[in-house]
Structure 1
Amino acid sequence: MTRARHTPLASLLSRDFSVYNYDRRGRGDSGDHPPYDVQREIDDLDALIERAGGPVLLFGMSSGAVLALEAVARGSEVCALALYEPPFVVDGTRAPLPADYVDRLEAMVARGDTTAALTHFLTDGLAMPPAAMDGMRHTPVWAAWEAAARTLPYDGLLMADFMSGRPLPTDRWAGVTIPVLVGHGDTGEPYMANAAKELASHGDNYILHTFPGQNHNVDPHALAPVLTTFFTTAWAAVQTRL
């Protein structure tokens, strides 16, 4: 995704907040310099937080939710965190990520086969049915996805430890003590709902929220009011401590 995906949400949130909506490394208008490392993406985020004059209220969805969680665990200046459907695989409700997933993805990107890389990501990474690929290749969004396909290994490296079908490590994000909202839709993939529920069980500072009628392609009009309430409450609590 590029920041265009979240422009409607950013517009809704801007009624109450100053919003920074950015392209992750290598996507949209953002540059990229190899080699990739998760910490370098966190450094990108920290640069924006410094520009905004943190601490900030941070939202991330899908793999971006995991990046946001990692950033907070590594010390980014965030006072409240909202996540939507981090795509962990914590049980047997879907197949785990293949052991050679990232290696194969990197090889496809290296030889310039963006169609193969994108197909591999959608079928093995997101567990979409292979039969759906022919139809998707004829949709307008396919070209935009292919344009960003060279960055797909980044998400693979970010997610590799968390899509094994095993429970999440209990100590990985032990340093995350700020309020965390973990959202999921009730009409989407069961494995994402199960992942959200497990993550939200990791501490009293985690709040689980189910979005009725939503899936991974969440409606910003459903998301914005929940984020606004959560962030407003969290920010008020910060102000009382200053």
Structure 2
Amino acid sequence: MEQITSKDGTTIVFDRIGQGPAVVLVAGSASDRSDKSPLGEHLAPDFTVLNYDRRGRGPSGDTQPYAVEREVEDIAAVIDAAGGEAGLFGGSSGAALALLAASAGLPVTKLAMWEPPYLPEGMPTPPPDHVQQLETMVADDRRDAAVEYFMSTVVGLPPEAVADMHRKPFWAETVALAHTLAYDARILGDYRLPVDLAKHLTLPTLVLAGGRDMPFMRDTATALAALLPAGEAQFLDGQPHNVDAAALAPVLRAFFTA
């Protein structure tokens, strides 16, 4: 485990494994770097993988007030630690953050995204005040309620699915990271495709989706790739949102080495 200091003084912790061109991994909602550790192990024979804890997660700091721009600065610091440039991979909301970082002009060589959760036109978006709702619940120490609200109202899972998740071992881990749910909600904005960002991003970009859990993710990947000047969409049939690292790694390996 290594650590660096981001621009605002926040400590960011990361693991560095493998040898070769640098690839930085960006975790999604309610997850820390342990979520991307299996993928890092699969990529390590061909790449130097930097798998970091986003601010507010694991042993990384969480300087307040939160701003999306600070998370972009965190990625810049990790890329600097990688040697000054790197490929960037993000999953779910981490994909949206990676897109923001690449669009900000960071020295990203290539960008790959797994199921960025932008919603196609015609699908309802979360309530306009969902960020404030999440922040209020966490401030009132109603972290369990914040997770339930996120899963049901923001993600759109049916009540029976949320009730089943409540009984799973990972629920407690999600509750522990409840304060970061509003961070990811801010990153995703109105949950619509970021047209202006995408159409000006010229670096090679791969948008991946499985679609087993949420079939619309394939439509999102296709639409986003079409907006990107050097975008490509690819599908991993049968893969859920929590994609199998063994299935994902060969596709990323081929993309980052091409």
User: Is the pair's TM-score, using the shorter chain for normalization, greater than 0.5?
Assistant: yes
Q: Distance in 1 between matches of 2:173 and 2:36?
A: 15
Matched, 1:199 2:229: no
Q: What amino acid is the match of 2:94?
A: G
1:74-89 aligned within 5 A? 74-89=104-119
Matched, 1:213 2:243: no
Q: Distance in 2 between matches of 1:219 and 1:169?
A: 27
Which runs of no fewer than 5 residues in structure 2 stay unpaired? 1-30
Q: Distance in 1 between matches of 2:216 and 2:171?
A: 25
1:118-157 aligned within 5 A? 118-157=147-186
Q: Is the 8 A contact 1:70 1:173 kept in 2?
A: no
3-state SS of 1:207 partner: strand
1:168-179 aligned within 5 A? 168-179=193-204
Instruction: Give the deviation of 1:169 after TM superposition.
Output: 4.5
Instruction: Give the deviation of 1:134 after TM superposition.
Output: 2.4
2:75 maps to 45
Q: Is the 8 A contact 2:211 2:217 kept in 1?
A: no
1:223 maps to 248
Q: What amino acid is the match of 1:150?
A: H
Structure having the larger proportion of residues in strand: 2
Q: What amino acid is the match of 1:202?
A: L
2:13 maps to none
Q: Distance in 1 between matches of 2:167 and 2:91?
A: 26
Q: Is the 8 A contact 1:196 1:208 kept in 2?
A: yes
Instruction: Give the deviation of 1:130 after TM superposition.
Output: 1.5
Q: What amino acid is the match of 1:199?
A: L
2:65 maps to 35
Q: What amino acid is the match of 1:54?
A: G
3-state SS of 2:52 partner: coil
1:239 maps to none
Which runs of no fewer than 5 residues in structure 1 stay unpaired? 234-242
TM-score by length of 2: 0.85
Instruction: Give the deviation of 1:176 after TM superposition.
Output: 1.3
Instruction: Give the deviation of 1:136 after TM superposition.
Output: 1.6
TM-score by length of 1: 0.91
1:10 maps to 40
Matched, 1:91 2:118: no
Q: Distance in 1 between matches of 2:213 and 2:172?
A: 25
3-state SS of 1:151 partner: helix
Q: Is the 8 A contact 1:95 1:127 kept in 2?
A: no
Q: What amino acid is the match of 2:241?
A: H
Q: Is the 8 A contact 1:60 1:83 kept in 2?
A: yes
Q: Is the 8 A contact 1:54 1:78 kept in 2?
A: no
Q: Distance in 1 between matches of 2:237 and 2:74?
A: 33
1:111 maps to 140
Q: Which has the higher contact order (CA 8 A, sep 6+)?
A: 1
3-state SS of 2:202 partner: coil
1:236 maps to none
Matched, 1:187 2:212: yes
CA deviation profile, 1:139-187 (whole Å, cap 9, x unmatched): 1101111110011110111112224xxxx34322333111000000042
Match of 2:85 among 48, 55, 60: 55
